[in-house]
Amino acid sequence: MSQQLLMCQGINKTYIDGDNEVEVLTQLDMSLSSHELLAVTGRSGSGKSTLLHILGTLDNPTKGTVLFNGQDIHGFTGAKQAEFRNRHLGFIYQFHHLLAEFSALENVMMPLLIAGIGSAKAKQRALALIGQVGLKDRAQHKPSQLSGGERQRIAIARALVNRPSLVLADEPTGNLDSENSQSIFDLLKELRDEQGTSFVVVTHDLQLASRLDRVVNLTAGKINPVATLIGV
């Protein structure tokens, strides 16, 4: 039986926009087991990126708590949150944030170097992941020399390289063709099976979503279950 990894209780997120208050998340409850691959769907503007940022301590909820292994991550100091993100989290952003002046390889090595891993070992691990996302012959290229989809795959390798226990992925295959999207989803499943990684994956691709363990929909600020087509 899997353990609970994440537990969100009563999450509210309100943005103040001039004189208007916009409530994006409303009393949202959600949980994620360890080893679980969860797909989050929802229309544009429904709050999916907002939710991922809150789960990853990049933003604070207006109300409510997020427990990671029972710990209230928004109660951590800034330094402890940074350490938490480096040790436990991998982010795949909706718009990749690769560092322009570094090569693909150096971008992927970065989280390992920050975590204090020696450069020879960091290079070996980074190259292995770059191979897994199918870009072995692009390792020395700078982001500007890569296509949008290739950049996205390098950003995915970077998010996974320090073997996080939780990966938050915001439309990880948004820029990819269906063959590459399939292989990224295969890679996520492989990591779950081999390393027990848990994933929250925001996606608009319902067919790919249905290949994950559970699919939910974010509507009216809340998480709602969606019947999956697994095995059908």
Ligand X SMILES: Nc1ncnc2c1ncn2[C@@H]1O[C@H](COP(=O)(O)OP(=O)(O)OP(=O)(O)O)[C@@H](O)[C@H]1O
Contact 182, 151 (CB under 8 A): no
Rule CB under 6 A: say whether 48 interacts with ligand X: yes
Rule CB under 5 A: say whether 152 interacts with Mg ion: no
Identity of the residue, 95 or 128, whose beta carbon is nearer to Mg ion in the bound complex: 95
Q: What backbone phi and psi angles, to 5 degrees, belong to 115?
A: -80, 0
Binding-site string for Mg ion from residue 69 to residue 108, where x marks contact by CB under 5 A and - marks none: -------------------------x--------------
- Find the binding residues for ligand X in span 162-181 (CB under 6 A): none
Rule CB under 5 A: say whether 50 interacts with Mg ion: no
Distance in Å, CB of 204 to Mg ion, minimum: 10
Rule CB under 6 A: say whether 21 interacts with ligand X: no
Rule CB under 6 A: say whether 49 interacts with ligand X: yes
Distance in Å, CB of 92 to Mg ion, minimum: 12
194 binds, among Mg ion, ligand X, none (CB under 5 to 8 A by kind): none
Q: How far apart are CA 63 and CA 196, in angstroms?
A: 30
Rule CB under 6 A: say whether 15 interacts with ligand X: yes
- Find the binding residues for ligand X in span 23-42 (CB under 6 A): 24, 42
Calculate the CA 112 to chain-centre distance.
17
Residue type, 133: V
Rule CB under 6 A: say whether 95 interacts with ligand X: no
Of residues 52, 51, 55, 159, the one with CA closest to residue 98: 159
Distance in Å, CB of 28 to ligand X, minimum: 12
Distance in Å, CB of 24 to ligand X, minimum: 4
Rule CB under 5 A: say whether 49 interacts with Mg ion: yes
Cβ count near 119 (within 10 Å) = 11
Crossing angle for the helix pair 148-160 and 104-114, to the nearest 10 degrees: 20
For the residues of 133-168, what is the DSSP string, one character each?
A: TT-GGGTT--GGGS-HHHHHHHHHHHHHTT--SEEE
Rule CB under 6 A: say whether 44 interacts with ligand X: yes
Contact 173, 203 (CB under 8 A): yes
Q: What backbone phi and psi angles, to 5 degrees, belong to 229?
A: -100, 15
Q: Number of residues interacting with ligand X: please give it, by CB under 6 A.
A: 13
Q: How far apart are CA 123 and CA 66, in angstroms?
A: 34
Identity of the residue, 25 or 32, whose beta carbon is nearer to ligand X in the bound complex: 25
Contact residues for ligand X (CB under 6 A)? 15, 17, 22, 24, 42, 44-50, 94
